[in-house]
Amino acid sequence: MGSAILSAGGGGLFIRNGSLAEYYGQSDIPAGCFVDVNPAGTTRRSVAAPSVCKLTDETYLHMEGATLYVRDKAGNEISSLATGLTFTDSDVGSNIVFSHVFTFGGNRVFASLLGYDSADDRAYVSYAILTHSNGTLTLNKTGSTYASISSSAPVFLGGCSIGSSTYVLLSIGSSASAQVNWLVNISTGAATTAPFTIKGAPFCIDEANRIIGTSNGIYEVTDSSITTLLTTSNTYYDSGASGFVVSPERFLTLSRTSSLSNFLFNDFYKENGTWKYVQTTVTPSSGTYDKYASPWISYWSDNEIYIRCGTLRKARISAHTLEIIEVANSTLSGWNGVGTTVVFAPYLFVGAAGGGAVSANDSGDSTITYLMEPTVSLRAGSGAGGRVTKTACKPLKKGKVYE
């Protein structure tokens, strides 16, 4: 097995020559290492789940906590910017649960943090609007908003630009199938509650930012109307979901369901001018943790995809139906939320919640630890809360490394 072949940011999953290695950490990761998710002495909630998005044909963005990194195709850092995002409500404290970043309007970036204050049961969002040029980020505006959510577990569903890029749509979910949609004015930085509800994790399908896809449906948005083009049979939208736009006429989603016993894969496609979808139910292989994990989905090539629904899986799409080819043999604790991916073959970068007990105040119960060997046969990697048993890789900048 080869040694240190990868160097990239936290919250990553990397595919190289058909091999998979997921970890949370930085620096070189010798294949075969197991990495503890949590920095020592902290709770998972003090470390916002990272987010990634493609920036240019050569670079991607990686947001971890309140810091943004521009990285190249191999994950090397080009530049970074501390946004200074924080929460005006001090009670939010370390309850930062997600970061989320996406690009829009050609050279704009929207980066946000989600926090939760159990004292007043509110979800707080702090966000920054930036521009990027030649690998450098410039901070333009910051803002914040909040909503009462009646939940102990707010999750980022995501966001995207809509319409003429005057506004950015930002969504969070909470329990009882509730969802909050905000519109953030790009010019002023002010957030207002959207006059509509888009259910599920939103992302743009078309270049004009009019067609918004989610795991729950397809919407066409103008400044004065929203048309629900399609509603799926999945109506659970307060939890994790991830999407991947294959083309303006096709996108894929993976989301949790209310039963938490399975995930739903949707292949949305346009045929003869009409949007259709085929849904496949994906059942976690085993273990309670499977149900918690933040799902993500990434299109690799020729209908071959990688997904995470509890465990990591390699899958193929045939006639719009998902067929699992391989399942990682691992136990993965995770958190529901949006999982974002960027593909720069042979690398696949993932920003997704991982690790952490679902109970808000639990600490040290976390794991993202599995990997595949170059043969693509899976090697078990599991552990929780620093109780990973194998050791011996180099120390990382974060967390503990075990062989």
Partner 1 sequence: MILIQTQDNVIIRIADSVEYDHRNYPYIDVNGFRECYAVPSHVVREVAEVPEEVTTEKYCYTPEDGFYIRPGYVEPNGYGIPDDLVERIKNDAITEVEEAVTNGTDE
Interface residue list for partner 1 (CB under 8 A):
150-154, 174-177, 195-196, 224-231, 233, 235, 238, 257-260, 275, 288, 291-292, 358-359
Provide the 3-class DSSP secondary structure of residue 201. Answer: coil
Closest distance to partner 1 from the beta carbon of 358 (Å): 5
As a whole number of angstroms, the distance between CA 38 and CA 61 comes to: 22
Give me the residue label for tokens 């078990």.
Answer: 380
Closest distance to partner 1 from the beta carbon of 234 (Å): 10
Tokens of 346: 């042979």
Q: Work out the burial of residue 165: count CB atoms within 10 Å of its CB; fewer than 13 is exposed, 13-18 middle, 19 or more buried.
A: middle
Tokens of 5: 């072949």
Which C-beta is closer to partner 1: that of 92 or that of 342?
Answer: 92
Closest distance to partner 1 from the beta carbon of 285 (Å): 16
Closest distance to partner 1 from the beta carbon of 202 (Å): 16
As a whole number of angstroms, the distance between CA 359 and CA 332 comes to: 16
Which C-beta is closer to partner 1: that of 89 or that of 220?
Answer: 220
Closest distance to partner 1 from the beta carbon of 222 (Å): 9
Which C-beta is closer to partner 1: that of 292 or that of 300?
Answer: 292
Which C-beta is closer to partner 1: that of 165 or that of 197?
Answer: 197
Closest distance to partner 1 from the beta carbon of 291 (Å): 6
Dihedrals phi, psi of 204, to nearest 5 degrees? -75, 140
Closest distance to partner 1 from the beta carbon of 175 (Å): 3
CA nearest to 167, candidates 209, 219, 112: 209
Closest distance to partner 1 from the beta carbon of 261 (Å): 9
To which H or E segment does residue 349 belong?
Answer: strand 347-351
As a whole number of angstroms, the distance between CA 203 and CA 123 comes to: 21
Please report, in angstroms and rounded to a whole number, the separation of the first and last CA atoms in the chain.
13
Omega of the bond leading into 50 within 30 degrees of 0 (cis): no
217-221 β-sheet, strand order: 203-204, 211-214, 217-221
Which C-beta is closer to partner 1: that of 39 or that of 334?
Answer: 334
Which C-beta is closer to partner 1: that of 176 or that of 319?
Answer: 176
Which C-beta is closer to partner 1: that of 80 or that of 175?
Answer: 175
Which C-beta is closer to partner 1: that of 86 or that of 118?
Answer: 118
CA dihedral 85, 90, 92, 96 (to 10 degrees): 30
